[in-house]
């Protein structure tokens, strides 16, 4: 799916009305099948951007086109069809805890399923093979018939990502896919997502806090800071100076005094080091 | 570390919620006092010898409970009729409540996906809520008295009365159960293009099934009690039998029927626990 965004302004529904909009004049053009990572400090507007692209948030100003169409000018039925071609994976995987993994996975196919078929799906899941194959991509195939609440946080997150592989979507919007994964799993998960999106020709937009992972897996990197695009470059041109500028003042800006080394604050994922190491190329 | 904080820090450490909580509690107590006066609540009148003696005399006739085979046969038939009225009424209530719930609950609003519900859907939901209020604000006894005139004496009036009132109750509580639980799973499905009923079945039902089930069975239990009350106005069943036994001061028969009620309520309780365990 092709994305064109111009002069985008948006604010999440829960934001205080007097707060500055989370996105201020964002412009972006993504070709069908392209893969890009959005990086930037916490509160930069990464999730808001994904929500606007997922038609989960109406922009306050600016122009949004998905495959040339403005989703907010579509009739309700057409908008729903459009949503069926999008897949938004929130940071916390939205899996019902009391559902089995297989049912939760196959729910990704609901947009292309009749009501009767989706009812039958609850009692007797069909296409177990596809669900198994999607899980196997994330080394979770033995969890197919387990209940979601029996999984660890990292396993849940990977099931949430495996859902994307089953959805009929042409645009994957993945929010922080690695927040609960260890480095090895994170590398594998991100590699799988990129490979599978490429194999399907689906456009992939992911927000990431792990700068090294973003640089290693994505050909194009968008740096977002304070609701505006700081840079939009091929990964090879993103250097330490740009990253330092992107994350500058992060720790000092939020707190009057920077936390002492070794204090609990440092472990917080919000506090990204001023110059993230550029490794794993 | 545990030294008393300086004065400035103590002002900061004052819980800002505390004074509001105290004021709220006092306000509720002040509002409750006139209610107590209005209900003329005077429990000591229970101990007045003039009223205590006949009450005790009636209670004394409860023992032994009536147990002759003919009467037991009658109780069994009427119990069956009562359970049937309650179950048929609940079925009618479910037929009303399930579609109303799906249409009325905020958790399945597509326009609210972007934050605020649009004006049209909001108005439609308010109208459905008003319909649910109307259905349940008319007591089932009044519905029954209306329907007795239409359908004549008998169980049909009871079934219709329970169906309407309980449809309103179930619709309200179902939609509140769906809204108060985790709605993320359903929202995510709607965002990814699933339909409302699909999002309900795959996103909301899994978490809420046991609460919905337990409330439904509790309401079935209430419907049994209710159908007994409706029996007093001619809707048949145990209520009618209980009515005549009380009027005849036949304590033994009243006792037998009360034992049946206790058994039915206990049965509903066990069934609820077992079913919730089974779907867990």
Q: For residue A258, what pLDDT is reported?
A: 37
The pLDDT of residue B235: 73
| A183: pLDDT strictly greater than 50 | yes
CA distance B125 to B106: 8
Q: How confident is the model at residue B228 (pLDDT cuts 50, 70, 90)?
A: confident
Looking at residue B8, what is its pLDDT? 66
Beta carbons of A97 and B280 less than 8 Å apart: no
Binding-site residues on chain B for chain A (CB distance < 8 A)? 110, 113-116, 182, 184-185, 187-195, 197-199, 201-207, 209, 280
Q: Is residue A92 pLDDT above 80, yes or no?
A: yes
Q: How many beta-carbon contacts under 8 Å exist across A and B?
A: 98
Question: B115 and A54: CB-CB below 8 Å?
Answer: no
The backbone region for A255, taken as left when phi is positive above 0, alpha when psi lies in -120 to 50, beta otherwise, is beta
Backbone angles phi, psi at A185, to 5 degrees: -65, -40
Provide, as residue numbers in chain A, all residues whose Cβ is less than 8 Å from the Cβ of B187: 94
- pLDDT score at B69: 87
pLDDT digit string, tens, across residues B120-159: 888 999 999 999 999 889 888 888 888 888 888 778 888 9
CB contact under 8 A, B203 and A107: yes
Between chains, do B203 and A82 touch, taking CB under 8 Å as contact? Answer: no
Note whether A96 contacts B207, CB cutoff 8 Å: yes
Tell me the shortest Cα–Cα distance from B198 to chain A, in angstroms: 7
Helices (H), chain B: 7-12, 18-38, 49-60, 69-104, 119-137, 140-151, 155-180, 184-191, 196-199, 205-230, 238-247, 251-279
Tokens 């009243």 sit on residue = B254
Closest Cα in chain A, distance from residue B12 (Å): 18
CB A246 within 8 Å of CB A230: yes
Q: What is the DSSP letter of A64?
A: E
pLDDT at A265 (0 to 100)? 39
Kindly report, residue by residue over A104-113, the tens digit of the pLDDT: 999 999 988 8
Task: For B114, name the nearest residue in chain A, comparing CA atoms only.
Answer: A57
Per-residue pLDDT reduced to its tens digit, B169-186: 999 999 999 988 888 899
Identify which of B188, B190, B206 has the shortest CB distance to residue A90: B188
Each residue of A23-67: pLDDT tens digit? 888 999 999 999 999 999 988 889 999 999 999 888 988 999 999
Confidence tier at B277 by pLDDT (50, 70, 90): confident
Q: How confident is the model at residue B198 (pLDDT cuts 50, 70, 90)?
A: very high
pLDDT at A221 over 90: yes
pLDDT at residue A271 in the model: 41
Q: Which residues, at least 6 apart from B213, have a Cβ–Cβ distance to it below 8 Å?
A: B272, B275, B276, B279
Mean pLDDT of A134-144: 91
Q: Cβ of A76 under 8 Å from any chain B Cβ?
A: yes
pLDDT band at B168 (very low <50, low <70, confident <90, very high): very high
The domain made up of A1-85+169-281 is a member of CATH 3.40.50.2300: no
A169, A89 Cβ separation under 8 angstroms: no
To the nearest whole Å, the CA of B268 is away from the closest chain A CA by 24
Render pLDDT for B48-98 as a digit per residue (tens, 0 to 9): 888 788 888 888 888 888 888 888 898 898 889 889 999 999 999 999 999
Query: What's the pLDDT at A250?
Result: 64
CA pair distance A15, B202, nearest whole angstrom = 29
Give the residue-averaged pLDDT of B189-199: 90
Looking at chain B, the whole-number percentage of residues with pLDDT higher than 90 is 28
Whether the full predicted model's pTM is greater than 0.90, yes or no, is no
Domains of chain B by range and CATH?
69-279 (1.10.3720.10)
Q: What is the ipTM of this complex?
A: 0.80
> For residues B106 and B117, what is the distance between their CA atoms, to the nearest angstrom?
8
Mean pLDDT of chain A: 85
What's the gap in Å between the CA of A200 and the closest CA on chain B?
A: 18
Subunit contact A118:B198, Cβ cutoff 8 A = yes
Nearest by CB to residue B193, choosing from A94, A111, A115, is: A111
Residue of chain B minimizing CA distance to A112: B194
For A183, A204, B18, B183, the CA distances from A154, given in Å and listed in that order, are 11, 21, 40, 21
What is the C-alpha R_g of chain A? 19
Domain boundaries defined on chain A: 1-85+169-281, 96-166
Strands A220-225 and A35-39: parallel
Q: pLDDT grade, residue A76 (50/70/90)?
A: confident
């Amino acid at each position: 799916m092709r994305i064109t965004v111009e002069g985008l302004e948006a604010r999440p529904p829960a934001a205080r009305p007097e707060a500055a909009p989370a996105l201020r004049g964002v412009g972006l053009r993504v070709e069908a099948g392209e893969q890009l990572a959005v990086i930037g400090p916490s509160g930069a507007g990464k999730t808001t951007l994904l929500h606007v692209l997922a038609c989960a948030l109406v922009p306050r100003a600016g122009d949004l086109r998905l495959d040339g169409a403005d989703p907010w000018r579509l009739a309700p039925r057409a908008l729903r069809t459009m949503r069926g071609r999008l897949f938004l994976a929130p940071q916390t995987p939205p899996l019902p805890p009391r559902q089995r993994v297989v049912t939760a996975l196959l729910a990704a196919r609901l947009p292309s399923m009749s009501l009767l078929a989706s009812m039958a799906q609850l009692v007797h899941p069909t296409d177990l093979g596809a669900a198994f194959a999607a899980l196997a991509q994330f080394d979770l195939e033995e969890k197919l018939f387990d209940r979601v609440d029996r999984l660890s946080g990292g396993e849940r997150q990977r099931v949430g990502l495996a859902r994307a592989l089953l959805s009929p979507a042409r645009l994957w919007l993945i929010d922080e896919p690695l927040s609960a994964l260890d480095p090895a799993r994170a590398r594998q998960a991100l590699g799988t997502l990129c490979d599978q999106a490429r194999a399907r020709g689906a456009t992939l937009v992911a927000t990431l806090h792990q700068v090294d992972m973003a640089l290693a897996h994505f050909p194009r990197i968008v740096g977002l800071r304070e609701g505006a695009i700081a840079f939009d470059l091929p990964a090879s041109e993103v250097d330490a100076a740009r990253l330092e500028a992107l994350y500058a003042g992060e720790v000092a800006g939020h707190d009057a005094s920077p936390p002492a080394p070794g204090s609990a604050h440092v472990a917080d994922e919000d506090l990204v080091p001023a110059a993230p190491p550029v490794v794993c190329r | 570390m545990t030294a008393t904080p300086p004065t400035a820090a103590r002002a900061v450490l004052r819980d800002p919620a505390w004074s509001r909580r105290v004021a709220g509690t006092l306000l509720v107590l002040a509002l409750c006092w006139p209610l107590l006066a209005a209900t003329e609540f005077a429990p000591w009148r229970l101990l007045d010898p003039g009223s205590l003696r006949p009450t005790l005399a009636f209670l004394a006739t409860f023992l032994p409970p009536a147990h002759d085979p003919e009467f037991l046969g009658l109780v069994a038939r009427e119990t069956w009729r009562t359970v049937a009225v309650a179950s048929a009424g609940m079925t009618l209530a479910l037929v009303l409540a399930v579609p109303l719930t799906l249409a009325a609950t905020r958790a399945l609003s597509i326009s609210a996906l972007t934050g605020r519900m649009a004006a049209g859907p909001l108005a439609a939901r308010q109208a459905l809520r008003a319909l649910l209020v109307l259905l349940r604000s008319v007591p089932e006894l009044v519905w029954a008295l209306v329907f007795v005139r239409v359908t004549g004496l008998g169980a049909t009036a009871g079934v219709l009365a329970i169906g309407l009132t309980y449809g309103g109750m179930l619709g309200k509580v179902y939609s509140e159960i769906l809204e108060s639980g985790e709605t993320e799973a359903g929202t995510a499905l709607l965002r990814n293009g699933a339909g409302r009923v699909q999002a309900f079945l795959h996103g909301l039902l899994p978490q809420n099934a046991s609460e919905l089930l337990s409330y439904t069975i509790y309401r079935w239990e209430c419907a049994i009690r209710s159908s007994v009350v409706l029996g007093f106005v001619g809707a048949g069943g145990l209520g009618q039998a209980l009515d005549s036994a009380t009027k005849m001061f036949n304590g033994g028969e009243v006792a037998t029927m009360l034992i049946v009620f206790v058994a039915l309520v206990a049965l509903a309780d066990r069934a609820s626990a077992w079913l919730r365990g089974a779907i867990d």
